[in-house]
Each structure stands twice: as C-alpha cells, then as structure tokens.
Amino acid sequence: MNILVPLPVVVPLLGAALTLVLIRRPVLQRAISVAVLVVTLAVAILLLWHAYRTGPLVVYVGEWPAPLGIVLVADQLAALMLVASAAVTLCVLLYSIGEGRADPGQHAPVVIYHPTYLVLTAGVTNAFLSGDLFNLFVGFEILLAASYVLLTLGGTEERIRAGTTYVVVSLLSSMIFLTAIGLVYAATGTLNLAQLVERLDALPADLQLVLHFMLLLAFGIKAAVFPLSAWLPDSYPTAPAPVTAVFAGLLTKVGVYAIIRTETLLFPDGRAAEVLLMVALLTMLVGILGAVAQSDIKRLLSFTLVSHIGYMLFGVALTSAAGLAGAIFYVVHHITIQTTLFLAAGLVERRTGSTNLDRLGGLARTAPLLGLLFFLPALSLAGVPPFSGFLGKLGLLQAGVAAGGVLAWLLVAGGTLTSLLTLYATTKIWNLAFWRSPRAPGPEASERMPRLMVWATVALVVLGLGLTVAAGPLYGVSSEAAEDLRRRTPYVDAVFPDGPP
Amino acid sequence: MSPDLILVAVVGVLFAAGVTLLLERSLSRVLIGIIMLGNGVNLLLLLGGRSGDAPILGVTPAGGMSDPLPQAMVLTAIVITLGLTAFLLAMAYRSWQLTGHDEVRDDPEDRQIVRRAERDESSVPDDLDVGVRPWAEPTGRTEEADPEQVDPEPGPRRLDREADDA
C-alpha cells in the first residue's frame, strides 16, 4: 500500500510532462489530463480508506531514514483533503475541456493550460502529503508558480494588473514562510514535522510564540485571513472561470490545512487561540459585508470565500476535538460548494456574456437548469437546512457553545449573522440574475451551453448533495481525524515506529 | 566561517532595503525588493546551520563538517526565486507593452472611489496629489473626443480612467 502515497504527486507531474510533449495533439492532451486526474482520485480514495482503517501511511522518499530525507505522510486529514481536491480538480478539468471545445481560440485555454493545471494539482497534493516543513514550502511554491501562469493566461491588461498584486503578495508570504523555516531550523535543528513535535515543545515559551506567529502569518496570507485577505477578491475574478473556480476551491484551503497542522501538530498549546478567534470573527464579518456591497457575481462570490474562511479558523481556534472536526468537515464542504458556485457563475457568463448583476435577469425562465445549478449550492453555502453547509455550521456553532466563554459566544453570534448575510447575498444574486424579468443578452451571449460544461457542474452539484447525504460517515471521519490530530502520537508513531531520534 | 554579527547585520539590511523597495509602485522596483528580500532570507537560512568544512565523508572529520541541509535548502530557494524573478520580469514587460508603464494600478473599486471623490470636492482623499507620473502623458486623445469623460480635469490617474473607459 505504501507505494500509493507518492502517486498523487508523481502522476500529475508525469502527466504534465507528457501533455507538454504532446502540445500539438489536443485530443491526446485532454485524454491524458483526464486519465491522470482519474488515477489521482482513485489513489486518493484508496489512501483515505487505508488511513481510516489501519492508520497513516508513510513513505521515506529514496529510502532515506526519516529525519534526513523527505517524508510523505498520508494520515486521515491529508487523505480526506486529497479526495476532496482530486474530485474537484477532475470536475473543473472536464468543465474547462468543455469550454475549450466549444470555442477554440477565443476563451479556449491556450495549449499550456493542461500542463500547468496538472502541475498545480501536483503542488496541492504535495502540500497535503508533505511530512516536513521545507517540502511543504516546495509544495506551496509549485502550486503558486502554476497559479501565477493560470491567473495571467492570455496576458490581457486586466489580468496582468490583477496578477501583479497576486504574484507580489504570494511571493511576500513565501518569503515570510521561508524566514520562519530558517528560524525553526536554527532553533531546533530539524524540519521534519514529527521530529519537531518534541523539539518545539522543549523550546522556551517566548521563542515558541515567535515561530508560531511567523508561520501563522505566512499561512494566513495564503488562506486569506482578514487583515491579510485584500488581495483575493481583487485578483481571483479576473481569471478564466474554471481557473477562478479551482483557485477558490483549493488554494486558500491549502493555507487552512497548513494552519490546522501548525495549530495541532506543532503548537498545540493554544496560545494563539484567542487571537485566531478574533481574527476569525473579523474575517467572517468583514468578508460578508464586502460581499453584500458587490454587484458582480464573481466578485461577490470571492468575498463570500474570504468570509467563510473565518468559519474554518473558528473551528481550529476552539482547540477542542469538536471544533476541529467541524472545521475539517467545513473545509471539505467549502471546497466543493465554492467551486460549484464559481462554475455556475462561469456558465452564467457564457450564457449572457456578463456576470454583472445590473445586466442580468430572468435566467430562471430562460435557463432553468442553470438556475437549479446555482440555487442548490447557494442554499448550501448560506447554511439552509438540510444541506451540508448547514450541518458544517451547526457542528461549529455547537462546538462554540460547548467551549463557552465570552469570545466563543461572540463567535457563535457572528457566525449566525454571517450565515444570514450569506443568505442575503446569495438571494440578491438569485433575485437580480434569475428571478426578475429577462434582460437583453449581451454581444458575447450564446444560446447553447456546451454539454460537457453543464455535466461537469452537475457532477459537482451532485457531489455537494452527496456530502449532505453522506454527512454522517464524513463527520465520523472528520472526528477521527480531529482526534488523531489532537493526540499527535499517531502521526509521530507513524513516521518514527521506533520512537523519534 | 561562524555566524558573526556582520552577517546578521547584512541580513537585517537586506530585509530593510527589500521591504522599502516592496512599498514602491513600479513593478521593477518591487522586483528588486523581492530579490534583495530573497537574498536576505537565503543568508538567514545559511546562518541557521552549523559552520565548518565541506561535508564530505573521508575528507573532513565528522566533527568539523558544516551542516549541509541549509545549503541544500538555499539552493532550492535560489532556484525558485530565479524562476519567479523571470516571471515577474515578463509581467513587468507585458505591462509596459500594454500600458506604457509598469506601475501597480489600483483595483476597479479604488478607481471608482477616486472618480467619485474627484467629482465631489468635499471628500477628496489624501493621496490624490500624488504628483507627476514618471511616464509621459499620452497624447492624441482629448477630453472633447471622449463623451464618457465627465470630469474635464485630466488628473494624475488618467491612465486608469482610460482603461476603465475602454
């Protein structure tokens, strides 16, 4: 079974190389990309099954013993993230293939789209599987470098403008991360996460706090946590629809994943908990207030994306098993739902030529299927029962109530308010774009939506509904993953079966 | 070579200079800032490991070896910084091709606010008098030729407005 662990990284990288070689054979290129992501998804599911049944899988790359070489660890959290991300990337790839086939040339992803997309996938999976800090950094850099290319596809003026901000902010966060790595290494003499557990605990408390906050700062920028989130709603909406969708679903969640690891494995003392709770509250409220003020669907959705990062942070900052389980469930839910909404927004743009709410109207009548594809995930995002968004929020709020204390109750209130305001924001889109009388379509409108695009979105909507139906088992996995994270020993024991050196 | 005070001071100076340049508007200066910051971080990584002779078994006694791991990490970091520097240079060049300058521009909403403020004299933001821009004002397009130009004053953010109108 151990041979499976590196596959989610190696297979997409190999696929990227192949698709780059086959740049003049578009049909073959597409087939390879799809096959690669199907394999990744299958491997991810196997890894999750194995991690759930028998415990974490560990691979020592090149047979180098643990603290010397690179370690890849697939524990329940990593495997769960892998499954969610692989499923979403596959659907988005199908969507973009549908878009590319419909109008080759105009919006069609240029030939480098497929290799870059696969490299992005490899970066994401590498970040999830990585068992040491520097490899995590490399994973981040792989996915960021690919995302720079995807965000500036075509090099139009607007994308260059948005891309500049994005690239510079991401580079800065990478520099901070690298500085933190340098300091951690200087303080402890290792970067292996499992070995750091013991060595970080032995450090003096003030030094721990400095390292802790440097890591949180770096991951906070990547996860778009409130005071560090202004880059996101500005840059994401300018990219092509599938690219925005996959960015919204995955990139910020990699940052959240890194925050979860930092808070549980490296610094479980919860000394940053109060700061994180306050930041989570501000992220939720400021984000959703920004969303309410927007008049463009993509920008509005980007602000809700920022806002809902606050929920995950809330769960992590509670430092209880229930909070952590809620946060993990919420990450999986949010990856799926937010991506679906951006894909639906892309379909709206394709159908009417615009995502500006002032120019839209009557889509529920002219494109009823599209209405349904937007309506279901929107309800789930807002947290309307019985959808997965409701269950995730309920779990988090319950954990908040159980934790007690002024701050936790404030967050429960803030979370409820954010949920209501999300409902308001999505209702605004629904009323203006779908419900009122039809508007004249723009010049770029096309009557027909490519079948593959629609089916890819349908698949994601079904996946989102599946999360609702399978919420019980999924919550079980999340709870077990949270338990393992809180105990820390399963991770360490898996990497060092004979005890840490 | 031991991590002495001079090297630590060099790291500090590189960080300070890098951050100062990052705050500039021109992308080329931001890029130089990132390069300096990157070099500062690399030096910091290098200082984190034990110093000594080349870590080759059989050549150096085990006690006198330097720590090879930070050096390996610095190599990786240098390669990554190099690639991203090239990418940023390409973006600066593309920006220059498209707009005639490589300044980081405000986002659409900031521009809307600025335009609104320009019409309403009472609420002019502080940063309006940013002075003359380093690029030449474009010629051949006058306010009369542009029906959407409500405000007759060209103003310092003219290029942004043109981009909005286009």
Half-sphere exposure in the Cβ direction for A400 (13 Å, CA): 28
Question: Bigger pLDDT: A25 or B3?
Answer: A25
Whether B78 and B157 map to the same domain: the answer is no
A145–B34 C-beta distance less than 8 A: no
* B39 pLDDT above the threshold of 60: yes
Instruction: Please state, in angstroms and rounded to a whole number, the distance separating the CA atoms of residues B32 and B35.
Output: 5
User: In angstroms, rounded to a whole number, what is the distance separating the alpha carbons of residues B68 and A245?
Assistant: 41
Q: Quick one: B78 and B133 in the same domain? A: no
* Distance in Å, alpha carbon of A143 to nearest chain B alpha carbon: 12
With tokens 């002075």, the residue in question is: B131
pLDDT mean over B65-78 = 88
Question: Residue B70 and residue A182: Cβ atoms within 8 Å?
Answer: yes
Say whether both B160 and B94 belong to one domain: no
Whether B60 is in a domain gets the answer no
Number of domains in chain B: 2
Nearest beta carbon to residue A168 from set B30, B47, B69? B30
User: Would you place residue B94 in the very low, low, confident or very high pLDDT band (cuts 50, 70, 90)?
Assistant: confident
Give the pLDDT confidence score for residue A102 in this predicted structure: 62
Find the residue in B nearest to A69 (Cα): B69
Which residues have CB under 8 Å from A186's CB, separation 6+?
Answer: B47, B48, B49
Residues B85, B127, single domain; the answer is: no
- Find chain A residues with C-beta within 8 A of B94's C-beta: 155, 160
Residue B24 falls inside a structural domain: yes
Q: pLDDT band for B160, please (50, 70, 90 cuts).
A: low
CB contacts under 8 A, B 27-56 vs A, are: 27, 30, 34, 37-38, 41, 44-45, 47-49
Amino acid at A362: G
- Answer yes or no: is pLDDT of B138 > 90: no
User: What CATH code is carried by the domain that includes residue B28?
Assistant: 1.10.287
Same-domain pairing of B95 and B119: no
Q: Which of B99, B121, B156 is the last residue of a domain?
A: B99
Helix (H, G, I), strand (E, B) or coil at A72: strand
Contact B62, B46 (CB under 8 A): no
Banded pLDDT at B136 (limits 50, 70, 90): very low
| Residue A251, amino acid | L
Q: Please give the backbone phi and psi of residue A59, each rounded to the nearest 5 degrees, phi first.
A: -125, 130
Range of the domain at B14: 5-52+67-99
Going by pLDDT thresholds of 50, 70 and 90, the confidence category of residue B152 is: very low
Query: Residue B91: closest CA among chain A residues belongs to which residue?
Result: A160
Is there a single domain that holds both residue B20 and residue B95? yes
Which of A138, A165, A186 comes nearest B76 by C-beta? A138
Task: For an interface test with A, give the residue of B98, B103, B161 to mutate (most A CBs within 10 A).
Answer: B98
What distances in angstroms separate CA A305 from CA A125, A146, A326, B24, one per listed residue? 21, 21, 17, 29
Whether residues B22 and A168 touch (CB distance < 8 A) is answered with yes
Which residues of chain A have a CB within 8 Å of the CB of B73? 134, 181, 185
How far does the CA of residue B152 sit from the closest CA of chain A (Å)? Answer: 25
Mean pLDDT to the nearest integer, A129-139: 92
Q: For A370-420, write each residue's pLDDT tens digit.
A: 889 999 999 999 988 889 999 999 999 999 999 888 999 999 999 999 999
Helices and strands: H and E segment counts in chain A? 21, 2
Task: Identify which of A89-93, A94-98, B61-65, B151-155 has the greatest average pLDDT.
Answer: A89-93
Q: Are A337 and A381 in contact (CB under 8 A)?
A: yes
DSSP assignment of A242-288 equals HHHHHIIIIIHHHHHHHHHHIIIII-TT-TTHHHHHHHHHHHHHHHH
Residue keyed to tokens 């078994």: B57
ipTM of the complex in this document: 0.85
Residues A414-448: pLDDT tens digits?
Answer: 999 999 999 999 999 998 888 888 777 666 667 67
pLDDT bracket for residue A103 (50, 70, 90): low
Q: Residue holding tokens 């030094």?
A: A207
- The C-alpha angle with vertex B78 and arms to B73 and B81, in degrees rounded to 5, equals 125
Are A261 and A193 contacting, i.e. CB atoms less than 8 angstroms apart?
Answer: yes
Q: Which amino acid is at A26?
A: P
For residue B104, the chain A residues in CB contact (below 8 A) are 161, 164-165, 168
Judged by CB atoms closer than 8 Å, whether chains meet at B83 and A145 is answered as yes
Report CB contact under 8 Å: B98, A175. no
Alpha carbons A353 and A368: distance in angstroms, whole number? 17
Query: Least CB-CB distance to A157: which of B104, B107, B163?
Result: B163
- Say whether B49 and A185 touch across the interface (CB within 8 A): yes
Between the two ends of chain A, the Cα-to-Cα distance in Å is: 25
Q: Which of A65-74, A125-134, A135-144, B25-34 has the lowest average pLDDT? A: A65-74
**DSSP calls for A10-67:** HHHHHHHHHHHHTTT-HHHHHHHHHHHHHHHHHHHHHHHHHHHHH--EEEEGGG--TT
Domain assignment of residue B57, yes or no: no
State the burial class of residue B6 (Cβ atoms within 10 Å of its Cβ: 0-12, 13-18, 19+): exposed
Structure confidence by residue, pLDDT tens digits, A154-202: 888 888 888 888 999 999 999 999 999 999 999 998 888 888 988 888 8
**Domain assignments of chain A as residue spans, ordered by start:** 2-495
Residues from chain A contacting residue B84 (CB–CB below 8 Å) = 145, 148, 167, 171
Tell me what pLDDT residue A152 has.
Answer: 87
Search chain B and give the residue with CA nearest A144: B84
Count of alpha carbons within 13 angstroms of residue A487, beta-carbon side:
11
Task: Map residue A74 onto helix, strand or coil.
Answer: strand
Facing B44 at nearest CB: one of A165, A172, A182? A182
**Residue B71 shares a structural domain with residue B9:** yes
Nearest to A322 by CA among A225, A418, A241, A398: A398
Interchain contact, B76 vs A171, CB within 8 Å: no
Residues of A in contact with B161 (CB under 8 A): none
Q: Are A102 and A453 in contact (CB under 8 A)?
A: yes
Helix or strand (DSSP H, E) at A227:
none
Give SS3 for A356. Answer: strand
Domain shared by B93 and B12, yes or no = yes
Take residue A383 and report the two structure tokens written for it: 């947290």
Task: Assess whether B83 and B118 both reside in one domain.
Answer: no
pLDDT in tens, A292-320: 988 889 999 999 999 999 999 999 998 88
Is residue B89 domain-shared with residue B136, that is, in the same domain? no
Q: Which residue on chain B is closest to A235 by alpha carbon?
A: B107
Question: Does B149 lie in the same domain as B113?
Answer: yes
* Alpha-helix residue ranges (DSSP H) falling in A293-405: 297-317, 321-352, 363-366, 368-382, 388-403
Q: Is B76 on the interface with A (CB under 8 A)?
A: yes
Chain-wide mean pLDDT for chain A?
89
The tokens for A300 are 């509005």
Element (H, E) at A485: helix A471-487
DSSP A362: -
The whole-angstrom distance between A196's CA and the closest CA on chain B is: 16
Q: Give the C-alpha separation, B158 to A357, whole Å.
A: 27
Whether B95 contacts chain A with CB within 8 A? yes
Query: Please, is A4 exposed, middle or buried when counting C-beta atoms within 10 Å of its C-beta (0-12, 13-18, 19+)?
Result: middle
Does B37 reside within a domain? yes
Nearest Cβ partner of A185 from B48, B95, B105? B48
Tell me whether residues B107 and A162 touch, CB distance under 8 A. Answer: yes
Structure tokens at A281: 């509250």
CB distance A321 to A333 below 8 Å? no
Does residue B48 sit in the same domain as residue B73?
Answer: yes
CA distance A251 to A223: 7
Percent of chain B with pLDDT over 90: 27
Q: What is the DSSP string of chain B?
A: ----HHHHHHHHHHHHHHHHHHTSSBHHHHHHHHHHHHHHHHHHHHHTSPP-B---BTTB-GGGB--HHHHHHHHHHHHHHHHHHHHHHHHHHHHHHHHSS-BPPPPHHHHHHHHHHHHSGGG--GGG-----SSPPP-S--STT-TT-------TTHHHHHHHH-
pLDDT over 50 (residue A35): yes
Confidence of residue A110 (pLDDT cuts 50, 70, 90): low
Q: How far is B47 from B7, CA to CA, in rounded Å?
A: 8
